Amino acid sequence: MVEEKGMTVEERCNTVEETYITIEERCITVEESCNTVEERCITVAERYITVAEKCITVDERFITVAERDITVAEKCITVDERFITVGKKYITVEEMYTMVEERCMTVEERCKTVEETYITIEERCITVEERCITVEERYITLVERCIGVKQRYVMVEERCITVDERYITVEERYITLEERCIRVEERCFTVEERYITLVERCIRVEEWYI
């Protein structure tokens, strides 16, 4: 356990360069200091992962949510090979699974077939063709509702919106959710810029990392 006063990882873990990351005043062992996702290793170069109103640095890159703040019910996230643990629940990140709005979405408990095509968001299942939220080819807006992506279509309030390879296009590339228009081309929603829109916030995504 790390004392309440501010201390660096090196000062408390001693072997930070090998297997330790300080999260929420606690030293957590991480297998080879990396989280394997899609055969990629999120190497914690700076070796700091701080949750709750602090910036998360992963391999000198930032996963930013609302001015670089991430709060997961004020609980620490332990990264152990292919699992993100929040409290007593976990989410497999092998096929790009994610947590939304300060809640731990236990995919296995709700969708049964997590490893193939499902992500649980707000207690609903979203089916994605072969992969879960593929940032490279398709974009998904998560606004407290079920959006099914399959065969280049997005269901939003019982309407089909065609996906034009790289953009969710509604005439002039707009998507109306809760009487709000999100500009796909101008705002966060471009994969080439590696951003995803999530409730008017931009989550910086580096290739496959969410």
**Residue spans of the chain under pLDDT 70:** 1-210
- For the chain, the structural domain boundaries read 1-87
Strand partners, 89: 86
pLDDT of residue 8: 52
pLDDT of 175 reads 39
Q: Give the pLDDT score at 35.
A: 37
Query: DSSP characters for 24-51?
Result: SS-EEE-GGGEEEETTEEEE-SS-EE--
Is 0.75 topped by the overall pTM? no
**Cα separations (Å) of 147 from 126, 128, 144, 177, 180?**
6, 9, 9, 11, 16
